[in-house]
Structure formats: C-alpha cells, structure tokens
Structure 1
Amino acid sequence: MGRHHADEVHDGEVHEHDRGLSYDLPVLARRRMIRLMAGASLVPLVGCTSQDGTSSSSASSAKGSASSSASSSAACATIPDETAGPFPGDGSNGVNVLKESGVVRSDIRKSFGDSAGGTAEGVPLTVTLTVVDAASGCGTPKKGAAVYIWHCDRAGDYSLYSEGVTDENYLRGVQETDDKGQVTFRSIFPGCYAGRWPHIHFEVYGSLADATAATSITSTSQLAFPKDVCDTVYASDGYDESVRNLAGLSLETDGIFSDGYDQQLAETKGSAAEGYTATLTVPV
C-alpha cells in the first residue's frame, strides 16, 4: 500500500510536507523489506507500545535457541525512517538552529539566543527517548549518541517558520544520550494541525559533535501519541483548534503512520493537570 504524506496547513496556506516521491520510495522499500524479514506472526517490536500504552514483549524472550535468536534478530528492526517535514530547522530547509549556542538543552519550552525570547504554553510534557543498537538485538544502549527533537506548539505552529513565531526557536533542542542511551526533554504537549496526527519529530546522530554540526544523521523519525491522551489534553485551554483538527484524523489514515505505528506510538502517562510523560525506545 503506497504512502501519501499529508500536506502541512498553516494560516490557510498549504505547505509541502515531504520531500517528494523520490524521497519516500526508498523508505517504503526498506520498511516493506523489514516486514518481510520479520514475518506476520511476530509480536510488536522491542520498546514499542500498543494503542493502550502498554509495553510490548521482546521477541528475545521466546524459548528456543536457534529459532529464538532468529526471531529476536528479525524483530529488532530499526526505527522506521520518516520525512523530517518542511520545518526541521537543521539546515536542510532554510534556517539551521543546530549550530546556535544554546540548542543543547533539556528544557525546550523557551526560546534562546538572539530570538524573541518567547515561551511555548501548554500542558507539560516530559519526553524520554532510549536509543539502542538494533544490530545487537536492541539490548545495547547507544551511549554518546545525540538526539534532536522538534515539534509544533499548541496552536500547531513551528518556531522559525510559521507566521508570528519566525523569531522564536522554542520546542527545539539537542541532547547527548547517557549510559542508558537516554535523553529527556521538558516540553509541552503539541497541538494537532490540519492533516497530521499529533507527533514529535526527531533525528538521531552518532555523536553530539555531529548533531551540532548538523551532519551525518543516523535516523530521522516521528513519535505518535495515543488518541485517548490527545482527547484529554485537547480539552484544555488553548487547544481549541486541535479538537476540530483531530476529529477528522486517525493513526490508520495519517500520511506518515498509516503503514504501521507500533514502533512509534509512545507510552504516555499522566494527566492534563499534572502533565504527561512520553517514553519510546529508538533502535538504530
């Protein structure tokens, strides 16, 4: 089944969401090959979450030696490659925030540097990504890698690009993975804009030096949120447009997640009053 990436819509203007068919076809071929290798009977992949937010079981826990090893190797697929979209801020489409002093940070709610100094308001969200080595069966954390994340604000706008926030660089940040392969960012729950399921973009780099030089990307993907959590968050002040936009969407019809989202659906816990945590394992 082919993939049709949705267009990004801001202030009545439609923006091209992806890099075109020539970019998508290699991604499709790679992901279909992964499915052929894994087989239809395999359980969800390591570190993935199901629709209800519970962690899936690792194929490596299956009994048997040779058959178990083969299943584990096949099940530990790399995180699906996705488009970075039109607003990456990594130098590939205009501005490059990665080379700015201050981008390496854990709290990404405020703008930094010579920008306007605004703060993104919304329901608090703490995002933890665990980067692991897929080649070793997802059991080895990738210490010393780096992750760059970015996402829209509660109005559905992207700093550096969207009208009214071009002078801001909030909701963007880089961190180096620790001994557990983890990075944690403090942010706000992103809004839902027309045509796309609520998500967070991220890029994985081999090192912090690579990330801040905006070179040698290891993986580009997106994190998705469960519908029940989105419904609860969007009942909060400031998310009015998100309620309307989400009503016409589903994970199954989203232009990015429609071909499978098990590896990208974050385990999300908390409340709108106290804030949420979102966790995802990222095999690379």
Structure 2
Amino acid sequence: MAAACRVTPTEIRGPYPADGVGGRDARINVLDLADVLRSDIRPSFAGLEGEAGGVPMQIELELTRSDDDCAVLARRAIYLWQCDAGGEYSLYTRRDVNYLRGLQPTDTAGTARFSSIVPGCYGGRAPHLHVEIFSDVEAAMGGVAPLLVSQLGLPTGPCEEVYGDRALYGDSAANLARWPAERDWAFRGDDRSHMMLAMEGDAQSGFTARARIALSA
C-alpha cells in the first residue's frame, strides 16, 4: 500500500480534549455547543471572550480511506484542537477562554478547513495538533464515539522561523530544540512522515498546512 494511503494510527487523546470523554476533566465538552461548528477557531465562542494571537495558519485536512484509490470521505466530521502560542490549552490551563477548538464537516472532496495559528511548543512535546474523526457532524455533537483519535505533527523548519518571535511564542524555540518532531514520544512507529503537516508560507504572511488522514478501508 502506498504511504499516502497508510492508515493514520490512533494516538493518545491527551489531557485537554474538552470532548466530554477524556482528559483531566471529562465534564468539559465543547461538542455540546452549537457554536463549535466553525472554521475559524481563533476566537473564543459561546459567551467567552478572547482570541488566540499568533502566526496565521490555514489548515486543510483531507480524509480518505486507506484503500488503493485513497477514496475520499465526504460528509464526515473533524474536531480539531491545539495549544496557543504560549503552549496553553483553552478551558484547562487557560480556563477563561475556549479558543483553538472547532468542528468541521468534510466537503465533497473529503476536505475540512480551519483558520488557526501556528501552535507553540511547550516542554516535553513537539508542536502538534489533535484531531478526532466522526461519522458526521450529528454524531460528533451527539456523543457518539469517534472513528479515530489521533495527532498531526508540525515540521521543524517552519516552526523554527515562527518561534523567533520570543515576545509572542515565549520559550517555544528552546523547547523545540529539545523536543523536535523526530523525538516526540507520542507518535507511534519510526516513519512519521505521513502524520506530518506539509507547510507552505512564511512567518510574515502566514502558512497553509495540509495533511491526509486515512481511515481503515
């Protein structure tokens, strides 16, 4: 099977999912909120204020089956969340905001899009995004278990450029030097290339980040 169609493995949900199931406080569930269905995940929503600052990043996630044709999966749903520029997670280490969380359906080409920022790099982890895949939006918001829980890594080069802004990204550059993607303990296996975002752009104008997520055929 081509690497492009390789099954995206299950990875740890992490301590800060806000999905009503896992993490440090399973009572927190943004998937109960109608406003979580959004493509721009930088602002807070549902009555909370505050917007995540950082280098803009447009995220395009293509969802396919892991068959020979990489058949696209339309009308599924992707819940995405990540840390902010300072390495904080909304509703947990930043309880006053709920930004950088959103749910989107895949279109007829199997793609879901989010407007976000390049996440910071906190101690112990390389930069990454969290994703949960659902059969559709209704399942995601109705408490049905996801089809997949996984993560996507960010390549080191673009992050090094972004993290030069210490005023915004704090200790991210130093943390990245200690924990680059190739050393990240949370990803399974030695070949992580199919779980890394491909990033184009620069720290001045922002980035576009793309990845393919493949479900078992």
Same fold at TM > 0.5: yes
1:131-160 CA-partner distances (Å, limit 9, x unpaired): 0112x3253110110000000000000001
- Secondary structure of 1:244's partner? helix
- Cα offset, 1:114, TM superposition: 2.2
Separation in structure 1 between the aligned mates of residue 143 and residue 203 of structure 2, nearest angstrom: 35
1:105-128 CA-partner distances (Å, limit 9, x unpaired): 00000000122x100000000000
Match of 1:253 among 154, 158, 183: 183
The residue identity in structure 2 corresponding to 1:182 is T
- The 8 Å contact of residues 138 and 283 in structure 1, kept in 2 or not, is answered as no
Who is 2:37 aligned against?
104
Separation in structure 2 between the aligned mates of residue 138 and residue 110 of structure 1, nearest angstrom: 37
Matches within 5 A, 1:1-284: 45-46=3-4, 76-92=5-21, 93=23, 94=26, 95-115=28-48, 117-134=49-66, 136-162=67-93, 165-236=94-165, 237-257=167-187, 259-260=189-190, 261-284=192-215
- Cα offset, 1:214, TM superposition: 3.1
**CA 180–214 in structure 1, closer or farther in 2 if over 3 Å, else same:** same
- The 8 Å contact of residues 6 and 194 in structure 2, kept in 1 or not, is answered as no
1:73-115 CA-partner distances (Å, limit 9, x unpaired): xxx3311110010000101132000111200000000000122
- The 8 Å contact of residues 60 and 211 in structure 2, kept in 1 or not, is answered as yes
- Cα offset, 1:250, TM superposition: 2.5
- Cα offset, 1:251, TM superposition: 2.3
How large is the RMSD of aligned CA atoms in angstroms? 1.3
Q: How many residues align?
A: 209
Unaligned runs of 5+ in 2: none
**4+ residue segments displaced more than 3 Å:** none
State TM-score, norm by structure 1.
0.71
- Secondary structure of 2:19's partner? coil
**CA 101–230 in structure 1, closer or farther in 2 if over 3 Å, else same:** same
**CA 101–265 in structure 1, closer or farther in 2 if over 3 Å, else same:** same
- Secondary structure of 1:238's partner? helix
The residue identity in structure 1 corresponding to 2:172 is S
Unaligned runs of 5+ in 1: 1-37, 47-75
State the percentage of identical aligned residues: 38
